[in-house]
């Protein structure tokens, strides 16, 4: 894996600069996909209880010839499960599925249930966060964070809890750079992870991106992932194809400021 970027949380824990995402990879395909990623140099694997693939993600990691401490594992509290005990129970379910004793990063998957996006779950999120603080202090998790949280959602944790989130995993890609949220997170020392850095593949047909990729003699996916790194976000590309898995980690180039400005002007392909 080649990348000149480094990321560390505000507690000093470092995290590999490109993660292998497993969203939408079924459990019966997860073992092979994660094994391919590990074989090709990925040491940062991202999953979630909601993905229903933790069992085979964990099995692939266990079967691969790397010490547990050499693989950074992220999982997430399901978006609809809010509350102190609910969080402790979900965490136990996750580490049982994965077959591990601790997680490197645990996130609240979303501030509201996916079935009721925008619902005010402030009290539930605070209770969940306090449970995650306990798990962190007990050494069960090396870093804790959130996902899909807007500024107001993070602020409620800052106002009511002890530990500032260490990460916020959000949709981030060319055309959706979330400048204000990114700035807020950076001001508070929160690492922003970029999920769907290829806009679930929809970016790859962009004529502008293809032209930029030709200029750098790279694939459109490589330029899109490098863009996230240039914006100081940590990309989580996903693929089940080995050649793409390899290409997605080859970030031994930089995008010029002039070309970044061009990419900044691109419209959101998903809007």
- Asked if the structure places residue 2 within a domain, the reply is no
- Asked if the structure places residue 154 within a domain, the reply is yes
Beta-strand (E) ranges in 42-139?
44-46, 72-77, 105-108
Whichever domain contains 121, its CATH number is 3.20.20.100
Give the Å distances, CA to CA, from 32 to 25, 68, 69, 97, 186. Answer: 10, 18, 21, 17, 35
- Asked if the structure places residue 48 within a domain, the reply is yes
Let me know how long the chain is.
Answer: 271
Mean pLDDT of 163-174: 98
Q: How many domains does the chain have?
A: 1
pTM over 0.85: yes
- Asked if the structure places residue 1 within a domain, the reply is no
* Domain interval for residue 242: 7-264
- Asked if the structure places residue 36 within a domain, the reply is yes
Looking at the DSSP bridge assignments, the partners of residue 170 are: 194
- State both tokens at 216: 């750098």
pLDDT at 1 over 70: no
List active site positions. 51
Mean pLDDT of 115-133: 97
Q: How far apart are CA 238 and CA 241, in angstroms?
A: 9
pLDDT at 65 over 90: no
- Asked if the structure places residue 270 within a domain, the reply is no
SS3 content of the chain, % helix, strand, coil (to 5): 45, 15, 40
Predicted local confidence at residue 2, as pLDDT: 62
């Amino acid at each position: 894996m080649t990348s000149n970027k480094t990321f560390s949380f505000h507690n000093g824990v470092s995290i590999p600069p490109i993660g292998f995402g497993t969203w939408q990879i079924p459990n019966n395909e997860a073992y092979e996909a994660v094994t391919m990623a590990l074989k090709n140099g990925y040491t940062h694997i991202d999953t979630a209880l909601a993905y229903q693939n933790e069992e085979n993600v964990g099995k692939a990691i266990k079967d691969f010839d790397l010490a547990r401490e050499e693989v950074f594992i992220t999982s997430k509290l399901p978006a609809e499960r809010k509350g102190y005990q609910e969080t402790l129970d979900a965490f136990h379910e996750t580490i049982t599925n994965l077959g591990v004793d601790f997680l490197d990063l645990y996130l609240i998957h979303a501030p509201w249930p996916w079935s009721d996006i925008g619902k005010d779950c402030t009290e539930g999120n605070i209770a969940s966060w306090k449970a995650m603080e306990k798990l962190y202090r007990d050494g069960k998790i090396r870093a804790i964070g959130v996902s899909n949280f807007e500024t107001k959602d993070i602020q409620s944790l800052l106002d009511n809890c002890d530990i500032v989130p260490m990460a916020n995993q959000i949709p981030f890609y060319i055309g959706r750079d979330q400048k204000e949220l990114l700035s807020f997170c950076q001001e508070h020392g929160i690492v922003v992870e970029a999920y769907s850095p290829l806009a679930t593949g929809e970016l790859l047909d962009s004529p502008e991106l293809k032209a930029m990729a030709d200029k750098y003699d790279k694939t459109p996916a490589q330029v899109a992932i490098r863009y996230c790194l240039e914006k100081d976000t940590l990309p989580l590309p996903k693929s089940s194809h080995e050649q793409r898995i390899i290409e997605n980690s080859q970030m031994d180039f930089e995008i010029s400021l002039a070309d970044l400005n061009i990419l900044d002007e691109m419209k959101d392909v998903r809007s």
